[in-house]
Structure formats: C-alpha cells, structure tokens
Structure 1
Amino acid sequence: MYDQASEAMSSAYAYPLLIKHLLRTPMAHAPNQEIVYRGKVRMTYTQLQERIARLANGLQRLGVEHGATVGVMDWDSHRYLECYFAVPMMGAVLQTVNIRLSQAEIAYTINHAGAQVLLVNADFLPVLAAIRDKLEHVRAIVLIDDEGNAAASSELEFADEYEHLLATSDTHFDFPDFDENTRATTFYTTGTTGLPKGVYFSHRQLVLHTITGMAALSSPASGQRFHRGDVYMPLTPMFHVHAWGIPYIATVMGVKQVYPGRYVPDRLVELMRDEGVTFSHCVGTILHMLLSCPQAKTADFSKWTVVIGGGALPHGLARTALERGIDVFTGYGMSETCPLLTLAQLKPSAEPLDIDEEVSLRCRTGLPVPLVDLRIVDDEMQDLPHDGVASGEVVVRTPWLTQGYLHNPEATEQLWEGGYLHTQDVARIGTDGYLQITDRIKDVIKSGGEWVSSLEIESLISQHPAVAEVAVIGIKNEKWGERPAAVVVLRPEHGAPVSEDEIKQHVLRFSETGQISKYAVPEVVKFVDALEKTSVGKMNKKWLRENFD
C-alpha cells in the first residue's frame, strides 16, 4: 500500500489560499454595495477594489516590497479595510498597531515587528512625535488626515498624505501569486505581564478563518446569524485580531459596511439608526457603554445582533440586552487563535426557553465552530469527562492558530506544549457539548481548598438590579488562602442606596440554592465609579489586584 499524491497537470492552476481571492465574490455579487465611514464618506465595492490597487501602487513607490512590514495607526475606517487587503496582497506584512498601549509599548511593537512604513491618523501624531527618534526601521510616514490641516502643525516629516497618495496612483495593480503560507499580518497581545508578544497569521490561515467563520455565523435557521441582508458595523478595534476577522467575512459576503471612526457612544447609536446597522461584535463593556448613553434611551435595537467576546457575557447584561430586543450571544477566542473558536448559538432542536434558560445558554462560551479540535485536559494532558462538572484547561487545534510568537521561541514552546495550543482558560464541557469558561488559570480563586470562579461570581452579582459592572478578584487570607473581593460600579439611575452586605446576601442566596459554593460569597465588596480596563476594553484584574486596599 502506498499513498497516491494528487497529480496536477502543468497547466492546472493550484489556487493558493490568498487574501486577494476573497475579493472575487463581492465583485461578482455586489459591486455597487456601499461602504460608509462616519456617515460622511461613501463608496462602492468597485471603488474599494480600485482604492486597494491605488494603495498598493502608492506603497510600492515608497519602497514597500514583498516581505516588508507596514504599520497602521488609525481608528476603525474604510482606510483600515483597504489596508487589510492591499498590504498582504502585495506580499507585505500588515502590522495593526495597538494605539491604546503606552508610548513605550507602541515604540517597542513597531520596532519588534520591523515596520518600515507607517500610516498614521492625525489624532496619533503627538504619540508618534514623542517616539519618532526611537523607531529603528521606519523610513516613511503617511499622514491620515480627515480634517486636512494636520501636516502644517506637526514637526514630523511625511512622505505623503493618504488620500493624495491614492489620488496620484493607478487603479490597477498586478497582485502576484505566492506561497499561501506567507505571513500576512502581525499584531501584539496585550497581556498584563511583560512586554507585548507578537502573533502572526498567514494568508492560508486568514482565508480558512474567513470561510469557516462565515459558515458558522450564517448556519443557524433563524437568529444569532450574519447573512447577506445584514448591515455590518464593527465595535471591536480593527487593530485587535483583525476586528475578530469579521471585516473579511463581511467583504466576502458583500454586505453594507459601516465604519464609525473613534468610538463615541451617542454617535455610534446615531450611525446604527441612520445606516440601519443590524450586526456588530464587541466586548461586554462596549455594549454596556452603548446601552447607558443618552441616545440609547429611545433607540430601537430590535433588529440588532451582537456577538460578545473578549471576556464573559454577564447574565445581567445579557438580560438587559434581550429586554431591549438585542439578539446577543457569546463568541470565544483569543489573540493567538485568530480568534474564532466557539459560538453560543442555540441548537435548532431546542425547545422554547424561558428567559432564564435563554440567558444561560447565550452566556455560555458555546459550541466549537467547524474544524476546531477543542479539549479540556488535566495537568498531564489527559482528557476530562464532558459531564458539566470536571474542569480543566482548554487546549485547541485549528488550521488558523498562530504558529508562534514572533522572535520568541521560548514562549512559543510553552504556547504549543504537547502539540496543542494552550489557552490558559479553565473550562468545563456539558453533556450537551457546550463549553463554559469558568476562569483564566491566573484568575481562579483558591479558597478553603476549592477553586472558585471569579467569572461565575461576577455573573451572579451582575444580576442585582443596582449593579452596572463588576469585577471579582482573589485577595490573600491567612485562614482560607484566598477570598473573593468584588469591585462594583452601581447604576446611576438606581435611586436606593446599596450596601456591601446587600451584595453579599445576594450571592449568599445563590449559594443556599446550590448554584455556587459558599466560598463564592465575597469577603469584601468595594464600590467604585469606574473599573480599570485594558487597552482592548477587558477588565484589568492585574491592576485591580495590585491596587486593591
């Protein structure tokens, strides 16, 4: 017996999985569909294709060659979408710079990625000016200027202005074929310890993630889906994991796309209303921010579907969203996974659910999407039972996981120990197949010999009618090792005063009914005006632990 390799004729086209091929379908199906920026700039997919070619020609004039890295510092915009395509389609590498990092971290990531050309929004010129002499490889800066007057007031030297660069470039570029495993993108994780780590993805990985994500999101019979009739607006920064890869999916589908620029809550709600937005994705804190802004009080959200990721979807927030008519559910992944791994979509055979069951299912971490090999394992990498009780680390394989950390072989070995990517998330899997993340390994609270999930305590506290946001951390305790401490932001519209004891009693009631361990009742409840967040809007629990008193 022997394997018979597929034999190709010399004239056959192998069709490498390259990002450029993602443009074929929308150009055939929806060349006149709209792409909108802030309600002020409108263009068609045909114009998008032309601008992608113009950008590639302009970058080529600036010396960008195959393998070079181009960094982008911009808000969510049509320009960012153009960069998602033009830069990797040239065979160059797109670095999506996290503009919410510190100046020192931004400089580090640009240097570490080796970016030679930077495309920079005028809003970030003060940051760039402060670090310009520290940038080791950057030889050209292209200004992005919505207002048209930033260059005169800046001391920086610009190679060109973005729109001028495109206006003076040809509308045709012969994007070549090359190895589908060529690196297409690089960005940096926002861990709370050490320097940011670079993750990278190939053309093949991004194309497979796009196709699989499109299949998973469009497959439900009704609800919890993204389809060709939708209007898409990202509420996840485009510098963060390619805005979860959804702009690529939206482009293949040929849907109307709306890019909001800088996130201003009232303006986001206005864009949703004026442009008919029906599909978005964001972290829970952004959804909470939107629902709390003045414009949201009279807004109609009944046609809006939202995927929540980047952290748990608290039951209280999910209930509030559902009551406003929002089709909300959880998606799960991480920077290293491109990111999609699971979606909390209801099974078609599900019986009608009451509100509590509906909230519970939508807040679960979800079912693996196609091609995801997901396990929960013990310390010896042995599989744990799917009984809804056993908890272990989530390890995964898919065709689109980062193959390593850029220039960091030691961290890469730890990430891929045993041949599976280690997520550092603790979870259980139910008999129905749904995954439920219970905590990050570093955030699990070890109290009285038991592991207590900070995420589960947060979800329970979020159901108190006075609670707007909550974060739970472990604090040292001589007797128990650690005890939970809750940091709570109250709803401003909730008139009656709320005491520390009331929050404790609220959790105690869940403990008495067996829903959670008695060790989950917080030792301390602290009320604050706002919770510290990371650069991508997640709860910064490291900061909370270090500054809790």
Structure 2
Amino acid sequence: MNSEYYEYQLTIDKILDSGSRSFSDREIVYRDIRRYTFRSFANSVKRLANGLRKIGVKKGEKIGVIDWDTDVYMHNYYAIPMLGAVLHTVNIRYPLELIAKTILHAEDRYLVVRDEFMPLIEKAKGIMPVGMKVISYSDSKEKVRSPLDTIDFWELIESNEPSEEEINVNESDMATIFYTSGTTGEPKGVWFNHRKIVLHAMSVSLVGARPPLSLTSNDVYMILVPMFHVHAWGYPYVALMAGVKYVLPGKYDYSFILRLMDKENVTYSAMVPTILYLLLTNPDAPKYLHVFKRWKVTIGGSALPEGLAKKAKELGITVIGGYGLSETCPVLSVGYYNSAIEGLDDNTKFMEQITAGAPIPLVQIKIVDPATGKEKETGKIGEIVVRAPWLTQEYYKDPEKTKALWKGGWLHTGDLAYMDQYGYIHIVDREKDAIKSGGEFIPSLLLENAISLHPKVSQVAVVGIKDEKWGERPAAFIVPKEQVSEEEIRQFLLKLADEGKIQKWWIPDRFIFISSMPLTSTNKIDKKVLRDMTQTK
C-alpha cells in the first residue's frame, strides 16, 4: 500500500515557523537600537540562511560566533542550525589563547565577529584554522574596516531573498557546540542535536507556566545569561515557542539594564546569583522599585543564597531556584510548585522554591552513593545522576571523559545533594569543593547559605584550606554591606548552631573580608582564585 506519510522532524526551524505564525506581532527588541516582530525576524533569519548558503556554508560545517547578547546572535541561533550547519557559541570571556584553542578544537570553518572583537581575531590570525572565513558586523551597519578579508553580515541579509527551500536537516543532526566554563579543569566540548534543543525548550516552556512564576505569553523576557553559555539556558528558543516579547541587553551595563527593563516592561529574567546581586545593589536600583514588584526571576548556575532570596522577596520579586549543567542543555530542575507543596503554607513553599527545585517534565534524577552507585534514601547526601532526552551524548573528541560522564548509563553531575520529602533537590556542594575535615564533609553551600543570613553580609563564598590536624578547614570570604567584625559573624553562626541549623564544627577558622568576589567567565564566584588568595591573606 502506497503512503506519503511524513516523518516530522523536531528541528529548530519548526520553532521559528511556529512562533512567526502564532505570534506574528510579538517583538524581539535589541537594546534601544533595533526591534523586530516575530514575522519580520523569521523573514530576516531566512534571508541570512540563504546568504550563508550562497557564500558556501555546507551541512555539518561549524560557525563560531563572537558577540554580546544581540539581535545578530539571535539570528545565528536560528539561521545556522536551519542550514544543517553547527552553531559554535564562543566564550568571549576566555583569554585569547583559549578562544583560539576552542575554535581549533571545534574545527570552525566560519566566524561571525562583532566589530569590537575584530582586533582580537586579527591578533590571533596566525593560530586560527587555515582557510577560515570571517563574517563581521557593526551595530551601525557600516562595513567593518580590517586588514582581514571579511564578509559583511548585513549584506548577507539585505542582498538575499528569504528562501523557503526545504533543507535536508534531520533532528539527529548536530545543531550546537560550545565549551564548558572550565570551573572543574580544562574546558570540554559539549554538543546537542536539534531534537534535544526542541524538547528542552518545550519542557522549559511548560514548567514556566506553573506557579509561582505562572508565566504567560503576555510576559516580557530579558534573559541575563550570556548567549555563549548553554544556549542562554535555552530561552532564545523558548521565547518563540512560548510567544513572548524578548528583550536583548547587548553588553551588560547594569544601570542601562534597569532602564531597559522599565522601558520595555520586562516581567521575567533568568540569571546567576551574582547578576541579581549586582542589579539589586546598583546605585540606580532604588529608582526601579516599581519594576521589581512585577519581576519574576529564575536563579541557576550556582545555589541561590537564602539571604539574597529574602532580600529579593522584600522588594516584591518572585524568585525561584533552578539547576542544570553545560552537559544538560542545561535545565534539569526548577523551583515550581509540585502537588506535594502547592497546598502548604507560604513560608514552606518559599523555602522549597529557592532550592535547586524539582525535576522538570521528562527528567529523571537519582541521588546515589558516588562509590557504589546505590540510590540514597530521602534526606541522605549523595551524587546527582540524571537522564533526560536532551543531555549531551559525549564530550566532543574526548572518549575517556565521556566514559566517566556516562558511567552506568546515567550522566554523572559531580554535584552532591539530597532530595527532601517533597521531591526538591538541595545542593550541598560540588564533589570537588566539599571540605573534608577530620574524615567528615563540611558542605560549603550550606555554610555559605547560613552566613548569607547575617544582615551585614552582601556576598559570601567558603573554600577549604589545608590544616595539619584536620586535613582541611573552611575559610569564608565575605563582601560586607557595612562594617562588620569576624567576632560578630562567629557569634551569629554559634547562635545558628545552638538552634540546630548548622554544626558548630562547621564554623570557619578564618574570615577574610574583601571588596568584591572574583568571577568566572559565566559570572559565578571563582573558588579557584579564592583558594589561591588564602595563601596570601
């Protein structure tokens, strides 16, 4: 029997087409420079895809992008995978040598570069891949002057018609590649196919509609996760799928971001804790209390300190925690209300929503003994291992690390946590960051959370330092809000110990006061630098 059955492929072009059809007049806004409707954006993306094809981009070839969070980057999130090519989101906060190393390892054939980064590429010309073509652009749309032979990005759009030609792209084709932030050693390449990205966007869209976020298509998103980092947590795809107005901040300038949030009526953002801290402590923040009252925020990348969460709540911000890794696309869990807590009192719900959250749809999470792989009981600490349909299947060109990542058919996160009676995950440490003192572990994240509750503490990070008697002891680095003594902090922690909230022997031996925290390329607190600082302070 003849059949013309069509095997529908979960590819990124389907997200673009769905968004432009169902929400054609929704906007994508880049700072105060350019704005598009979803319809005009889709048209522009298809022009770019046609232009890329005409300059010779072939299926499977990798195209690196070096840019801030811009409309140009947003175009490339769609146009490159739609061609069957691979988007390489280059970490612009790496040193030049490491940028070149990831470009070489990924085997990029093309590079899209914002004008202000062109001197970087010119400097690295001698170590870049032979024959790699550079596509440059400026916000003004003037051609970029460079000794390199470059292709003008805007011409690729403006000199081409939007092609509706069906391209042979399969959902199993590689769509994106990027490199881990390097917080646990040398950066590793992780990649994702179309199917993984589409399913991830669907699940994140679905869980965002649940309380306490309760997001709808009337919300306005400004995602403050760099677009080079884990697909900006998938939100450039979620935005068109969910039909929401999407605001792109460009290079992060926190005073400007607050003004843009006000002007564009932003109601939802996602970010690491450091970014929330920088916004709430910005000198202009008191002018925008009316913005905070409508603002909903998901925090990931690092644990959400209880002190910061309570400060946000005082300002009227709805804040929840989330959890994921570069290797997991990234979202695994979010602090939405599951059925176990939706009927509980407000304080209990708040304390659960600021944890690492409960697994989102299609995610399986277990807490296991790292040595045996045996699942831990509720409330017992072990390593988080996961399964989901969007996890990276391998580290690119690194079979040995891949084997360790996927030991036993579960992805091993290296994070230590316990699951409570309601099904919410409480991260207590990275396996590598756990402080082993006298044969027992001191969970640095729980200790940081306790110190963050002191009213004079703005930021805190705890690291282990060598100790002749105990092996390791904790040292706490503190950014104070105002003058505070070591003894004040110690007495505060002793009180928490008497209340049974921490163990007395967890209290740090050293308190080091600093003016600001060192940050990684993804704005997380850099504990490697802090450990080095313990040798000099």
Q: Same fold (TM over 0.5)?
A: yes
Matches within 5 A, 1:522-533: 522-533=508-519
Pair 1:445 & 2:445 matched: no
The number of aligned residues is: 531
Match among 145, 149, 154 for residue 157 of structure 1: 149
Given the superposition, is the C-alpha separation of residues 308 and 9 from structure 1 closer, same or farther in structure 2, using an over 3 Å criterion? farther
1:167, CA displacement in angstroms? 0.7
- Which whole-Å CA distance do the structure 2 matches of 1:150 and 1:63 have between them? 21
SS in 2 for 1:281: strand
1:193, CA displacement in angstroms? 4.9
1:180, CA displacement in angstroms? 1.2
Partner of 2:282: 293
1:157, CA displacement in angstroms? 2.5
- Which whole-Å CA distance do the structure 2 matches of 1:120 and 1:293 have between them? 30
Q: Encode CA deviations 1:260-319: one digit per residue, 9 max, x unaligned.
A: 100000000001000000111000000000111122112021111110000000011101
Partner of 1:5: none
Pair 1:310 & 2:301 matched: yes
SS in 1 for 2:124: helix
Partner of 1:466: 456
Tell whether the 8 Å contact from 1:16 to 1:180 is kept in structure 2 after alignment: yes
Partner of 1:366: 357
- Which whole-Å CA distance do the structure 2 matches of 1:227 and 1:377 have between them? 36
- Which whole-Å CA distance do the structure 1 matches of 2:410 and 2:14 have between them? 30
Partner of 1:34: 27
Pair 1:231 & 2:194 matched: no
Partner of 1:382: 374
SS in 1 for 2:276: helix
1:137, CA displacement in angstroms? 4.3
Partner of 1:46: 39
Given the superposition, is the C-alpha separation of residues 512 and 311 from structure 1 closer, same or farther in structure 2, using an over 3 Å criterion? same
Given the superposition, is the C-alpha separation of residues 284 and 193 from structure 1 closer, same or farther in structure 2, using an over 3 Å criterion? closer
- Which whole-Å CA distance do the structure 2 matches of 1:473 and 1:414 have between them? 26
- Which whole-Å CA distance do the structure 1 matches of 2:35 and 2:184 have between them? 42
Match among 105, 108, 130 for residue 98 of structure 2: 105
TM-score normalised according to structure 2 size: 0.96
Pair 1:172 & 2:163 matched: yes
Pair 1:400 & 2:390 matched: yes
Given the superposition, is the C-alpha separation of residues 297 and 13 from structure 1 closer, same or farther in structure 2, using an over 3 Å criterion? same
SS in 2 for 1:332: strand
Pair 1:135 & 2:128 matched: yes
Pair 1:21 & 2:21 matched: no
Report the AA paired with residue 385 of structure 2: V
- Which whole-Å CA distance do the structure 2 matches of 1:137 and 1:21 have between them? 34
Structure 2, unmatched stretches of 5+, are none
1:190, CA displacement in angstroms? 1.3
Q: Encode CA deviations 1:227-261: one digit per residue, 9 max, x unaligned.
A: 21111111000110000001101111221111010
Partner of 2:186: 195
- Which whole-Å CA distance do the structure 2 matches of 1:179 and 1:137 have between them? 29
Tell whether the 8 Å contact from 1:181 to 1:203 is kept in structure 2 after alignment: yes
Match among 515, 529, 543 for residue 501 of structure 2: 515
1:359, CA displacement in angstroms? 4.4
TM-score normalised according to structure 1 size: 0.94
Report the AA paired with residue 280 of structure 2: L
Partner of 2:317: 326
1:148, CA displacement in angstroms? 4.8
Given the superposition, is the C-alpha separation of residues 150 and 450 from structure 1 closer, same or farther in structure 2, using an over 3 Å criterion? farther
1:350, CA displacement in angstroms? 3.4
- Which whole-Å CA distance do the structure 1 matches of 2:8 and 2:50 have between them? 24
SS in 1 for 2:284: helix
Pair 1:540 & 2:526 matched: yes
1:80, CA displacement in angstroms? 1.3
Report the AA paired with residue 401 of structure 1: L
Partner of 1:3: none
Q: Which consecutive segments of 4 or more residues in structure 1 shift more than 3 A?
A: 147-150, 347-355
Tell whether the 8 Å contact from 2:335 to 2:356 is kept in structure 1 after alignment: yes
Tell whether the 8 Å contact from 2:141 to 2:154 is kept in structure 1 after alignment: no
- Which whole-Å CA distance do the structure 2 matches of 1:223 and 1:383 have between them? 30
1:358, CA displacement in angstroms? 4.9
1:139, CA displacement in angstroms? 2.2
Aligned residues: CA RMSD: 1.6
Matches within 5 A, 1:331-342: 331-342=322-333
Partner of 1:76: 69
- Which whole-Å CA distance do the structure 2 matches of 1:321 and 1:297 have between them? 13
Partner of 1:242: 231
Given the superposition, is the C-alpha separation of residues 208 and 137 from structure 1 closer, same or farther in structure 2, using an over 3 Å criterion? farther
Match among 45, 51, 54 for residue 58 of structure 1: 51
SS in 2 for 1:229: coil
Partner of 1:254: 243
- Which whole-Å CA distance do the structure 1 matches of 2:143 and 2:511 have between them? 47
Tell whether the 8 Å contact from 2:20 to 2:240 is kept in structure 1 after alignment: no
Report the AA paired with residue 71 of structure 1: G
Tell whether the 8 Å contact from 2:320 to 2:354 is kept in structure 1 after alignment: yes
